[in-house]
Amino acid sequence: MQHIQSYITDHKDRFLAELIELLKIPSVSADPAFKDNVIHTSKVIKESLIDAGCDHVEICETEGFPIVYGEKIIDKNLPTVLVYGHYDVQPADPVELWHSPPYEPVIKKTDIHPEGAIFARGACDDKGQMYMHVKAMELMTKTDSLPCNVKFMIEGEEEVGSVNLSKFVKQHQEKLKNDVILISDTGMIAKDVPSITTGLRGLSYVEVEVTGPNRDLHSGLYGGAVANPINILTKMIASLHDENNHITIPGFYDKVEELSAAERAEMAKAPFSVEKYQESIGIDTVYGEKGYSTNERNSIRPTLDVNGIWGGYIGEGAKTVIASKAYAKISMRLVPHQDWEEITQLFKTHFESIAPAGVKVKVTPHHGGQGYVTPIDSIGYQAASKAYHDTFGKNPIPQRSGGSIPIVSLFEQELKSKTILMGFGLDSDAIHSPNEHFGVWNYFKGIETIPLFYKYFTELHTQ
C-alpha cells in the first residue's frame, strides 16, 4: 500500500504538530473548572473532521458536553464504518508528579519508545488514538482511497460515564446506522505483539459514607466509647474480600461467565512475563484472587477496589479527633453476564447489612456499565486481523482487557452492530496516571493500519 506510506511520510511533521496542539487544551470533563476548554476542544475536533474530508460535520449539544458528529457518505450501497472516540481527558492530578507539565506536550525517548513518545494528559487516552482516525480519514480522502461510508462520533464525557451519549445513541439510531463500529481506545500486548481487544469489563462505581457521632469528637474524651466511623469503614471494607481474595458480597459471582479450560489455555499463550510486570510497577510480587493467573485476574475476573478513602484529620501534624464521618469510593469491575445495576444493588444491600450498631451507612451509586465480549469470526475482526497482518507482518492476538468503555455494550444493544477495538496504546503509557504518553511509532502505526481495515472490511462485506 504505497500511497499510505508515502502520504504519512509527506505529512508526518504536521500530523504530530496537530496532535500536539490538541493536547494543549485541558479538556477535563470531571472538573467544572475546565468547562470552557472542553467545549473549545469539541470545536477543534469539528474543524479537524471538516479538514479531513467529511461532507457534513455538526456539534450535537447535550445536557453535558457536546458530541461531535461527522460523516462522508459516498454510496448508500457500500458499508458504513462508525468511528467512536473521546476528546475529554482525566484530571492531571497529582500534577507535581509530572516531569513536564501535563498540557505542554513534549516528545521524549523512553526504553520502550526509542522513536520518542508524546508526554501529555490525553496523549494515549484518547486524543492521540482518536486523532489517528481523523488523520487516516484525511489520508483516504486526499489519496482517493476511501472505500466506503464513514461516520464519526467523538464525545466529551467518556471519562465521566457517557450518560448523555447513551441518550443520544438511543435517540439517533437511524443517523448512527452502521455496519461496524471502530474504536481505538484500548491497548496492545506489546509493540511487536499486535492484538485486538475482544472483551471489556463492566463497571459499578459507588460512594459510601459512614456516619457516627453528630460532630467530630475529642479522641481522648470519647475514644473507646463510641464507634469511630473510620475504624468501622476500614473494617467493613476489609470484610469485602475473604482469605482467598474472593469477594464476599452474596450473589456477586452468580452470573459470572466461567471460561472453559480450553479458553483459559488459549489465553495463557499470550506472551507475558510476570517478572517484567512486577518490575514495571515496582512491586515484588503479584496479588489477587486464588486460582487465577495475573492475566485472568485483570481481565476475565470481577474485582472490587477502593479508589479513594478519606475522613478525619489529614492536615499537617497531629490532631486528636474522632471524625463524625468517613467516606470511600469503590469500583467493581464486572465481567460478561453480570448486570451492573444488579451488582450495585447487591453491594448496597450487603454493605448496609454489615454496618454495626452505632453508625449509619449511606451508599450512593455513581455511573456504571455492562461488560462486552465480541467473537473473533466476525468480518470486522477478520478485516482488522488482515490489516494488522499487513502492517506488523503477523496475525494479531485476541485479548480480553480489564478496562471499561461502557458505551460499547449499549452500541451493540441499540445499533445492533459489532465493535472492533483496535488499540495502539501500551500498558506502560501510564493512562490516567502522571506522565501519560503515547509512542510516536504507535501513532503512525495506527494511521497506517486503519485505512487497511476500511479496505478489507469493504471487501469482505461486499463479497
Question: Beta strand 180-183 with 80-86: parallel, antiparallel or unpaired?
Answer: parallel
Q: Is 161 in the site for ligand BES (CB under 6 A)?
A: yes
Stretch that binds Mn ion, among 183-191, 197-205, 382-390, 414-422 (CB under 5 A): 183-191
Question: Residue 241 binds which entry of ligand BES, Mn ion, none, with Cβ cut-offs from 5 to 8 Å by kind?
Answer: none
Q: Is 429 in the site for Mn ion (CB under 5 A)?
A: no
Long-range contacts from 161-167, C-beta under 8 angstroms, 24+ separation: 161/366, 161/367, 161/368, 161/369, 161/406, 162/367, 162/369, 162/406, 162/407, 163/64, 163/367, 164/62, 164/63, 164/64, 164/65, 164/67, 165/62, 165/67, 165/407, 166/407, 166/410, 167/62, 167/63
Nine cell digits for residue 366: 455513581
Question: Residue 147 binds which entry of Mn ion, ligand BES, none, with Cβ cut-offs from 5 to 8 Å by kind?
Answer: none
Q: Strands, DSSP E only, in 141-240?
A: 149-155, 180-183, 195-200, 202-211, 217-218
Residue closer to ligand BES by CB (options 188, 236) is 188
Q: Of these, 404, 409, 442, 458, which contacts ligand BES (CB under 6 A)?
A: 404
Which amino acid type is present at position 78?
Answer: L
Question: Residue 181 binds which entry of ligand BES, Mn ion, none, with Cβ cut-offs from 5 to 8 Å by kind?
Answer: none
Q: Is 203 in the site for ligand BES (CB under 6 A)?
A: yes
Using the 8-state DSSP alphabet, how is residue 73 labeled?
A: -
Contacts to ligand BES from residues 241-300, by CB under 6 A: none
CB of 437 to ligand BES, least distance (A): 14
CB of 165 to ligand BES, least distance (A): 11
Contacts to Mn ion from residues 71-130, by CB under 5 A: 125-126
Instruction: Specify whether the CB–CB gap between 39 and 29 falls below 8 A.
Output: no
Tell me which residue of 152, 118, 127 sits closest to 138, measured CA to CA: 152
Which amino acid type is present at position 146?
Answer: L
Using the 8-state DSSP alphabet, how is residue 6 labeled?
A: H
Residue closer to ligand BES by CB (options 142, 432) is 432
The answer to whether the peptide bond before residue 216 is cis (omega within 30 degrees of 0) is no
Stretch that binds ligand BES, among 107-115, 155-163, 244-252, 293-301 (CB under 6 A): 155-163
Instruction: Specify whether the CB–CB gap between 411 and 181 falls below 8 A.
Output: yes
Spatial distance between the Cα atoms of 440 and 131, rounded to a whole number of angstroms: 13
Q: Of these, 159, 179, 429, 436, which contacts ligand BES (CB under 6 A)?
A: 159
Residue closer to ligand BES by CB (options 229, 368) is 368
Contacts to ligand BES from residues 384-403, by CB under 6 A: 401, 403
Q: Of these, 405, 408, 430, 440, which contacts ligand BES (CB under 6 A)?
A: 405
Tell me which residue of 434, 447, 349 sits closest to 391, measured CA to CA: 447
Tell me which residue of 157, 164, 128, 19 sits closest to 426, measured CA to CA: 128
Q: Taking CB positions, which residue lies at the least distance from ligand BES? A: 403
Nine cell digits for residue 403: 478496562
Stretch that binds ligand BES, among 39-47, 112-120, 184-192, 287-295 (CB under 6 A): 184-192
Q: Is 406 in the site for ligand BES (CB under 6 A)?
A: yes
Instruction: Specify whether the CB–CB gap between 189 and 112 falls below 8 A.
Output: no
DSSP run (H or E) holding 303? strand 303-311
Q: Is 122 in the site for ligand BES (CB under 6 A)?
A: no
Stretch that binds ligand BES, among 154-162, 319-327, 346-354, 382-390 (CB under 6 A): 154-162
Contacts of 68 (CB under 8 A, 6+ apart): 42, 45, 46, 49, 57, 58, 59, 60, 87, 152, 153, 154, 155
Q: Of these, 71, 179, 185, 429, which contacts Mn ion (CB under 5 A)?
A: 185
Q: Is 436 in the site for Mn ion (CB under 5 A)?
A: no
What mask, x for binding ligand BES by CB under 6 A, covers residues 348 to 367?
A: -------------------x
Question: Residue 212 binds which entry of Mn ion, ligand BES, none, with Cβ cut-offs from 5 to 8 Å by kind?
Answer: none
Q: Which residues bind Mn ion (CB under 5 A)?
A: 125-126, 185
Q: Which residues bind ligand BES (CB under 6 A)?
A: 125-126, 158-159, 161, 185-187, 200, 203, 367, 401, 403-406
